[in-house]
Amino acid sequence: MEPFFPKLHPNPGWHEACQSDEKEILPTISSENIGRHCILELYQCDHAKLNDEAFIRTTITSSAKIAGATLINLITHSFNPQGVTGLALLAESHISIHTWPEIGYAAIDVFTCGDHTMPEKACQLLSKDFLAKHFSFKNIAREIPTEIQTLHREPISK
């Protein structure tokens, strides 16, 4: 199943040209990137892992760590007769996993804000941990609309 993702940049969101000593004009970007939302669907996964709440807690924790995110809270729920839902609250946003062991399927969202996180690495780990034979992956840039980029941001007073 290799390669899973394009080569990961060590500083996501940074243009290659920004690291160069050469002065290069970059194209004007109409909006500012505020984060990325990775949507991962895993197929033909290990059925036992999809139904193992403790395993899912461990793999969510590991995926948050490898993404460079800060785990604030983790909640999971096991359904009867099967399936698990897990939600990790991150300082940078969230990771959610929903499993259907009876069909070998997991639906996963990894949403992170900031340029220090690497949600693609989390997705890579999750795909590997669930032993997925097939997958679908979408990486969506979350952007601030141009119209509000110049607004001054201050905390709301109480």
Coil, strand or helix at 30:
coil
pLDDT on residue 44:
98
Sign of the four-CA dihedral 122, 112, 109, 7? negative
Sign of the four-CA dihedral 33, 34, 37, 38? positive
Q: Which of 31, 62, 96, 113 is catalytic?
A: 113
| All structural domains of the chain | 34-148 (3.60.90.10)
pLDDT on residue 155:
80
Going residue by residue through the chain (158 aa), what tens digit of pLDDT does each one get? Answer: 444 444 444 434 433 333 333 333 233 344 577 889 999 999 999 999 999 999 999 999 999 999 999 999 999 999 999 999 999 999 999 999 999 999 999 999 999 998 889 999 999 999 999 999 999 999 999 887 777 777 777 788 77
Of the candidates 30, 105, 24, 115, the residue with the CA atom closest to the CA atom of residue 97: 105
pLDDT on residue 150:
76
98 is annotated as an active-site residue: yes
93 is annotated as an active-site residue: yes
Q: Which of 63, 93, 123, 127 is catalytic?
A: 93
Q: Which of 9, 37, 98, 116 is catalytic?
A: 98
Q: Are 88 and 105 in contact (CB under 8 A)?
A: no
Q: What is the pTM of this model?
A: 0.75
123 is annotated as an active-site residue: no
pLDDT on residue 26:
31
